[in-house]
Amino acid sequence: MMNMLSSAKSGLRFTFQVAGLPEDTFSVGEFSLQEGLSELFTLNLTLVKTHTLNPFKPQTEVDLTALLMQEAVLQIFNGELEQRKITGIISHADWAGTDGNKTLYTLTVRPALWRLTLNQDSRIFHQQNVPAILNGLLKKHRVRADSKLYDTHQDREYVTQKRESDYAFFNRLAAEEGISFWFEDETAFFSDSHLGMTAGLPLVYSPQPETAHGMDAIYQVRLGVGMSPQRSLHKDFNYDNPRYHLSHMESSEG
């Protein structure tokens, strides 16, 4: 979590803009970001709207309902250098109080891919491969997306979506094919290899991140162990040739 007090010490500067509102509508008081590979990020913000000191001009409040589903952008600067930009849509908005001069609002921003969680459907896809189905879902919900695939993905005779949200269906198919997704600015990327997210950007370890000016740094590392399955066995049945044994086994290393 970052706030304005820490930004004054580190030289960081934050801006937050909402589509359809003037750029200077909000100042960033505090925010937290939770994200992970193949997960929908959650950006929570506390925003400050400063009112005019003109007593003859009525104070305007922000229409919370009008904020919902609007595109929003949080930018993080170190001096004049942009360190990070997070783009998403507003899924929740609260009025958090006022002292007459300033009003606080709390907003939650999710990626555009979050729209896929809002429906439930049952469909059958015939003779399509998984990347084609994923792209179709993204186009249906107007999600800006890109992909980089290294393996050949065979067409499936049929794929069923049964009383699932489009996001649950998207996630299930991606996991079955070993496809991961992540977000860069306003774009959702997916790939079947870790090489798809290699950007060639330098990343250094610095236990004192305030000294790593102008570069991305890791300041904390944790090592751990855990249990996981070592072998996977998949079986199927051929109705045209019932005696044919359809099975495939894959074992992990280590």
Going from the first residue of the chain to its last (254 residues), give the mean pLDDT of each consecutive group of 10, the final group possibly shorter.
46 90 91 95 94 62 92 90 92 89 93 96 94 96 94 93 96 94 93 78 79 76 90 87 87 76
Q: What is the pLDDT of residue 250?
A: 85
Question: What is the per-residue pLDDT for 2?
Answer: 43
Assign a CATH topology to domain 2-110: Pnp Oxidase; Chain A (2.30.110)
At the fourth CATH level, the homologous superfamily of domain 114-220 is Baseplate protein-like domains (3.55.50.10)
pLDDT at 177: 93
Q: What is the pLDDT of residue 58?
A: 54
Question: Which residues of the chain are in CATH 3.55.50.10 domains?
Answer: 114-220
- Could you tell me where in the chain the CATH 2.30.110.50 domains are found? 2-110
Ranges of beta strands (E only) in the chain are: 2-3, 12-18, 27-34, 42-50, 71-78, 81-98, 102-110, 121-128, 145-148, 156-164, 180-184, 187-191, 204-205, 217-218, 231-236, 246-251
- CB-based contact 191:151 (threshold 8 Å): no
Q: What pLDDT score was predicted for residue 202?
A: 75
pLDDT computed for residue 27 by the predictor: 92
